[in-house]
Amino acid sequence: MTMTVAPTLTGYEVSPELDSLSMATSLGESVTLSAETLRTACKCAHCLRARFDDRFPLGFPGLAIVEVADLGYGLNIAFSDGHNRGIYPKSYLLDLASL
């Protein structure tokens, strides 16, 4: 019987340009997501409502990551457009990176 273990997030770093988040995994891999990809993928109540009301932007060009707080199970990411409500579970971040 072969058991597959899903990778976990073991570390992260915001790029010097503040335009992406690089993440290390338990499999020794490194994956990177752009600030725009992260902002577009936010699932906070505010963003879900904006999508429902058809008010959510299609993109966020030129966006920067201004702060990241590790909450244990996920990362709270704040962006240069003032949005700071998104909590990204670590498993969700890895799913976004298609691991």
The angle formed by the CA atoms of residues 99, 90 and 8, to the nearest 5 degrees, is 55
Q: Given pLDDT bands bounded at 50, 70 and 90, which one contains residue 3?
A: low
The angle formed by the CA atoms of residues 27, 37 and 79, to the nearest 5 degrees, is 105
Query: For position 2, what pLDDT does the model report?
Result: 63
pTM: 0.90
Secondary structure letter of residue 91 according to DSSP:
H
Residue 22, CB half-sphere, CA atoms under 13 Å: how many?
Answer: 10
Q: Given pLDDT bands bounded at 50, 70 and 90, which one contains residue 85?
A: very high
Quick: pLDDT tens for 15-73.
999 999 999 999 999 999 999 999 999 999 999 999 999 999 999 999 999 999 999 99
Residues present in the chain in total: 99
Q: Given pLDDT bands bounded at 50, 70 and 90, which one contains residue 7?
A: confident
Instruction: Give the containing element (helix H, strand E) for 21.
Output: strand 20-25
Q: Above 80 in pLDDT, residue 5? A: no
| Burial class of residue 50 (count of CB atoms within 10 Å of its CB; 0-12, 13-18, 19+) | middle
